[in-house]
Structure 1
C-alpha cells in the first residue's frame, strides 16, 4: 500500500516539492511548445467550433438539416466541438461534478480502497499512469476509471461509496449521455448519406457499445512548463464526451499548431474518435490532443469514452464510402487489434513538435 500511495501525483504535488521528478519531464522536442495554459487560452486564432444542438431533432426538416450540416462541418474539419443545448439538465451535470470533486477531496488513504491494479489486468478503479514506453515517462494526473453503461455490465462494487449520491448521479448522467450519443451518431450517419441508425449499429448498438467514465484529476504542478497532464494522442473510441471544472488545459493539434480550447459554460466537449474516423473512411477526423497542467488551479475533467466491443465487430471503412477515387484508408481490424496497433506504433514514432 505504501509504495502505491507514494506513486500518486496528488501526493507529490502536496509534498511541497519545487521541481518535478525526471520521469514527469517531457522530451526536449515537446518542451518547445508547452506554454502557460492561461496565456494560451487568451490567444486569438482558430477556435474549437461550438454546435447548438437545440434543433437536432426538430420536426422541421430544413431546420434539422441546418443543425446536421454544422455538426458535419465540425466533424470533418476539427473532429472536436463544444455542444450546447445538448438536452442534459445542468443540475444533473453540476451534481455529477460535485460527486467527482468530493471523491477526489477524500484523503488518499480513503481513495486507495478503490485502487486498480493495471499489471494484473484490473483496470477499473483509482489509479495513476504506469510508464508504458521505454523512457519511463509519466503524466501529471491521477484518475478514477469505470464502466458506466450498459447497466448490466457495470461492477458497482468498485464504484465510490462516498459521496453517497455518486452511484445515483453517475448512473443517470450515463443514461442521458447514451441517449445523446444515439442522436449524434444518427445525425453523423445521415450526413454521410447512410441510414440514421447505421453508425450506431456498426459500433455495437445499445447492447454492446460501452460507456467508460474516466475522471481525470490534474493536481497543481510546480513546473507546468515541463510536464503534461495527458500526452498527445487520438481517442480510440467512437465518440468521447468531456466535462471539466472550467479550468483550461485541453489542446488540439490543428493545422500544424497546438490550439487551446476555451472554456465554454454549460457545454459538453465532444471528440470524434478513431472508430468513427475509420468507419467514415477518414471523412470525420479523430484529432490529436493533449492536456496541459498549471501551478495555480487543480483541473478535473470527466471523459466518457463510447467504445465498441473489443472483438465482436470488424472496424473498417463502410463499403458505401469506398470508391475507386476514395479507396479504403484503413485495413480491417477489431477494436482490440486497433488498440494494439496504436500502442505498437507509438513505440516506433514520436509526436508532432
Structure 2
C-alpha cells in the first residue's frame, strides 16, 4: 500500500494531472530562478563546472602528476564540485549500475513498495519519497531508493532489490571500486592542507568506519517544472559525494551568486566536497549549495554515493593544523549526527522566521 504520508511522486506524475499539488509548489522567491533546464544546459557563456582529468593522478612524472593534483585541489577550493573523467572505473560497469537502477524503477509502484522505508520510525533505507521536514511543509518532486553499499560487512542485503538479478553484483562492484577512488581523491586535499596524504581519510573514519550510502534519485516528468524542484537547495553533509546520472540535465550549483547548470559530460562522475571536509579544512575546501531541477519531457535519474563518517565516533571540527590566530576555527565541534540535526533544526528555525 502506498504510504499515505508521502504519496509517490511517480504515481502523481503518471495520473494525468495538469497542475501539481500545492505542497510541491516552491516559494515565489525560488520560482523566479527556476528556468528551462535544457535551455540552461546549452549555454556556453559564464562560469562552467570544472572537469578534472584523473588520467595522470599517479603519473611517474612528478610535474605531470602535480599538475593534475593541483587542478583538483583548485577546483575543490574554488567550486567544491567537479566532473571527474578518466577516473579508472570502466564505462561498462557504470552502464551496468545505471541499467540496474533504471530497471528497478521501471517496476510498478506496488512492486517497489515491497522495499518501502519508514522514515517516521527512523528506518530510512529502502524505497521512499521525502517527508516534509521544514515548517512550510514543501515536498520535492522525486522518489528514491537508499541503502548502504560499503563496507560490505555493514550492508543489509535484505533490502537490496532482487530485480533486476544483476543489481547486487553491479552495485557491489561499483561500491568497491569507488572506495578505492575515495582513498586516492582524499589524499589530494590532505596534502593540499600540508597534512600527510592519509590524514583526511583517517579523520573521516578510514576503511573500517567511512560509510558509502547510495541514493538513487528518480525524478518523474513534471507537468509544471517551473514551479517545482527535484531537490531543494542544500549542501551535502558527507565528506565526498559521487554522482552518476542518465545524461538528463538537472543539477545546478550556486556559484558567485548565480545558479550555474552542470553540463552532461559523457562517462564522467560528478564529485562534491561535502560539509565534513569543509569543516575539517576550516572552510578552505567548499561544500557548494546545489539543487535539482525537473522537466516535462524526460525522466531524470541520478545515483549519488555519500561518503559519510560514523555518526557518533568522531568529533568533527577544524583540524588543529589549519587553525591559527589569523584563521580561527569557523565551526564548533560536533559529531556527524549533531551536524545533521543542527542543519535540520536551523533550517526549521529559518522557515519559522520567514
TM-score, normalised relative to structure 2: 0.97
- Kept in 1: contact 2:6–2:130 (CA 8 A): no
Match of 1:168 in 2: 169
Question: Alpha-carbon deviations, 1:105-129, whole Å to 9, x = none?
Answer: 0011110000000001111000000
Match of 1:21 in 2: 21
Distance in 1 (alpha carbons) for counterparts of 2:6 and 2:233: 26
Distance in 2 (alpha carbons) for counterparts of 1:315 and 1:29: 33
- Kept in 2: contact 1:213–1:303 (CA 8 A): yes
Distance in 2 (alpha carbons) for counterparts of 1:60 and 1:207: 32
Match of 1:158 in 2: 159
- Kept in 1: contact 2:145–2:215 (CA 8 A): yes
Where in structure 1 are there 5+ consecutive unaligned residues? none
Match of 1:337 in 2: 338
SS at match of 1:349: helix
Question: Alpha carbons of 1:130 and 1:301: their partners in 2 closer, same or farther (altered >3 Å)?
Answer: same
Question: Alpha-carbon deviations, 1:22-71, whole Å to 9, x = none?
Answer: 00000111111000101111222100000000111112222111111000
1:25-174 paired onto structure 2 within 5 Å: 25-43=25-43, 44-174=45-175
Question: Alpha-carbon deviations, 1:249-301, whole Å to 9, x = none?
Answer: 00000000011101001100000000000001100000000000000000000
Q: Are 2:7 and 1:7 aligned?
A: yes
SS at match of 1:146: strand
- Kept in 1: contact 2:2–2:110 (CA 8 A): no
Question: Alpha-carbon deviations, 1:292-344, whole Å to 9, x = none?
Answer: 00000000000000000000000111111111111111111100111011111
SS at match of 1:26: coil
- Kept in 2: contact 1:187–1:196 (CA 8 A): yes
Aligned residues: 350
- Kept in 2: contact 1:5–1:112 (CA 8 A): no
Q: CA deviation at 1:349?
A: 2.6
Distance in 1 (alpha carbons) for counterparts of 2:151 and 2:212: 7
Q: CA deviation at 1:348?
A: 2.3
- Kept in 2: contact 1:216–1:302 (CA 8 A): yes
Match of 2:238 in 1: 237
Q: CA deviation at 1:179?
A: 0.4
Q: CA deviation at 1:2?
A: 4.2
Where in structure 2 are there 5+ consecutive unaligned residues? none
Question: Alpha carbons of 1:227 and 1:65: their partners in 2 closer, same or farther (altered >3 Å)?
Answer: same
Question: Alpha-carbon deviations, 1:164-203, whole Å to 9, x = none?
Answer: 0000000000000000000000111111111000000000
- Kept in 2: contact 1:75–1:284 (CA 8 A): yes
Question: Alpha carbons of 1:3 and 1:84: their partners in 2 closer, same or farther (altered >3 Å)?
Answer: closer
Match of 1:207 in 2: 208
TM-score, normalised relative to structure 1: 0.98
Distance in 1 (alpha carbons) for counterparts of 2:3 and 2:335: 37
- Kept in 1: contact 2:149–2:212 (CA 8 A): yes
- Once the two structures are overlaid, the 10-residue window that deviates more, 42-51 or 145-154, is 42-51
Match of 1:320 in 2: 321
- Kept in 1: contact 2:94–2:174 (CA 8 A): yes
Question: Alpha-carbon deviations, 1:200-259, whole Å to 9, x = none?
Answer: 000000000000000000000000000000000000000000000000000000000011
Distance in 2 (alpha carbons) for counterparts of 1:55 and 1:331: 37
Distance in 2 (alpha carbons) for counterparts of 1:61 and 1:130: 50
SS at match of 1:213: strand
- Kept in 1: contact 2:218–2:302 (CA 8 A): yes
- Kept in 1: contact 2:6–2:129 (CA 8 A): no
- Kept in 2: contact 1:25–1:137 (CA 8 A): yes
SS at match of 1:54: helix
